[in-house]
Amino acid sequence: MLRALGQVSRRDLLTMIGAAAGSAALYQAMTTLGHAQPSPYQGPIKLQGDPGTVKVLILGAGLAGMVAALELRAAGYEVELLEYREKAGGRCWTLRGGDTYTELGDFRQEIGYAKGNYFNPGPWRIPHHHHAILDYCRRLGVKLEPFIQKNHNAFLHSTAAFGGKPQRFREIATDFRGHTTELLAKAVNQGNLDEMVSEEDKEKLLEALRTSGMLDQDFGYVKSQHTSEFRGFQTWPGGGAKPNPIPSDPIAPGDILQSGLWRWLGVAETVDHQETMFQPVGGMDMIAQAFEREIKDLIRYNAKVTSIKQDETGVTVIYQDTGQDTGIEGEPLETRADWCICTIPFSILGQIESNFSDGVKSVIDKVQYAGSVKIGLEFNRRFWEEDEQIYGGISYTDLPIALIGYPSSDYLSTGKGVLVGGYNWDTAAYHFTSMTPEERINKALEYGATIHPQYRKEFSNGASVAWYRVPWALGCYGVWDDREADYSRATALDGRTLMAGEHLSYLPGWQEGAILSGLDAISRLHARVMSG
């Protein structure tokens, strides 16, 4: 293996260093090459000029639709917004005790969480570089708090490793880094990288590897007081007459590699998950509620769009009052505007009668939506804190629930607490989608008890959302098969209509993508109006 290292490229060397020291350095290199960039948001939008008497109809009161409505009205437009649900927010959504939610299949859930507890079925975190949504939170007075993505005291778990026993993140992360750094240091010392590393750089590289990899003077990663300061102690330091700290034994490199647990080490290193991340105090829909307070008078709720027809002078939309309070759908209603911004997910829009161009219709039909299932479990006490000292963060597992997310608020509080008991995708999501909500909860408890034996004893109640069964979305976020060929067609002005939403962004699934798409759409619409 060491001989083979002499043939590696500079790219491979960077990859090895990234694996040993973390991917933050690799992200810096990616940014330099233009592969990873922060949000392009440059501050509040400025729509210069008086549009005159122009009406814009917005379909969908998610974040894209609401930011469009907010800014267009401020610029002098007449705005009307149709929303299918009884409230605004779209996938910016929070479930609390007393709420009810009915999925396709007539799966009705009555949420029984204790007062103050909540569960975000959709987005649950905001990256530090999503400048637009952070700016609107600032402007609209949405209070934020840190979201803990990476917790070194959380667990990594595989059913096929360590007898199925969960391992602390810090132990796997430290030992993986130590062993791989030792291997790289040996390769450097044996001259296997001489063609890529100058003599001067070699000395600096070895010094860096010794420090970052917690290596001893012989460049070995071994049991010591120093390594235990990173991976934890067998006997932790105490005070008074307590015994001296006893170093812990590193896990053998072969066991680390065979476990596969290293696959989760870089999750929190991607730019979208690096610290600091945020969440709104009290639930993600605090953002939706803040927008809604500003433009509530523009929104017509319970409006199910059934037809979108445009001509040379405007757009006519037929919709029905869904009668969610009475269970009776009303007579078809009609509204008309000069222009339309449509934020309805393509998964829904493809089922609505329209006269969009054939090119746009073909794109709408081609874009698929990812499936995901998210489960919120409430327990009678915060055992993850009391028993295992896990305060926020995420444990990862190869079980079908994929992860367990711990609340990033109300630390050390007594009473009931809610954690994310599962958040899965792909095959596992399809399987969970086929279950009833009760079956999903039972499976989440069964799988979660493998990591936390307290599950069954402490369980109070739970809720789950399968995004393929969400009536107003039919999926989690848009997936493009051929973005290069289709994206520009979908974002272009089609007659009198512009599309917007997270699916019309390069940030699929993120609220930032929805807001940026909405702002881009109104900028281009305003330019078109002002050009006459």
Is 284 a residue whose pLDDT tops 80? yes
- Rounded Cα distance between 423 and 448, Å, is 12
pLDDT of the residue at 324: 55
pLDDT single digits (tens) 17-76: 454 444 333 333 333 333 345 678 888 999 999 999 999 999 999 999 999 999 999 999
Taken in order 390, 394, 396, 402, is the CA torsion positive or negative? positive
pLDDT of the residue at 328: 57
Taken in order 276, 278, 281, 282, is the CA torsion positive or negative? negative
Is 440 a residue whose pLDDT tops 90? yes
213-220: long-range contacts at Cβ-Cβ below 8 A with a sequence spacing of 24 or more? Answer: 213/20, 213/21, 213/177, 213/178, 213/180, 213/181, 213/182, 213/184, 213/185, 214/174, 214/177, 214/178, 214/181, 215/178, 215/181, 215/182, 215/185, 219/182, 219/185, 219/186, 219/189, 220/182
Q: Give Cβ neighbours of residue 225 (< 8 Å, ≥ 6 apart).
A: 245, 247
Beta bridge partner(s), residue 230? none
In one-letter notation, the amino acid at residue 1 is: M
In a 3-state reduction of DSSP, which class is residue 527?
helix
pLDDT of the residue at 189: 86
In a 3-state reduction of DSSP, which class is residue 298?
helix
Is 347 a residue whose pLDDT tops 80? yes
pLDDT of the residue at 37: 52
Is 323 a residue whose pLDDT tops 80? no
* Confidence bin at 5 (pLDDT 50/70/90): very low
Q: Cβ atoms within 10 A of the Cβ of 112, count?
A: 14
pLDDT of the residue at 191: 84
Q: Cβ atoms within 10 A of the Cβ of 276, count?
A: 12
Query: What is the helix (H) or strand (E) element at residue 310, kind and residue range?
Result: strand 303-310
In a 3-state reduction of DSSP, which class is residue 54?
coil
pLDDT of the residue at 330: 77
pLDDT of the residue at 490: 97
> Averaged over 77-101, what is the pLDDT?
97
> Averaged over 100-107, what is the pLDDT?
96
pLDDT of the residue at 63: 98
Q: Which residue has the tokens 């000029």?
A: 49
The rounded mean pLDDT for the chain is 91
Q: Which residue in 122, 152, 164 sits closest to 395, CA to CA?
A: 152
**Secondary structure string (H, E, C) spanning 450-498:** CCCCCHHHHEEEEEEEEHHHCCCCCCCCEECCCHHHHHHHHHCCECCEE
- Rounded Cα distance between 188 and 180, Å, is 12
Entry pTM: 0.90
pLDDT of the residue at 38: 66
pLDDT single digits (tens) 354-387: 999 999 999 999 999 999 999 999 999 999 999 9
Is 225 a residue whose pLDDT tops 80? yes
> Averaged over 162-188, what is the pLDDT?
95
> Averaged over 474-482, what is the pLDDT?
95
Q: Which domains does the chain have, with CATH numbers?
A: 2-36+159-259 (1.20.1440.240), 55-90+285-366+483-530 (3.50.50.60), 95-153+275-282+371-469 (3.90.660.10)
Q: Which residue in 148, 141, 149, 209 sits closest to 180, CA to CA?
A: 209
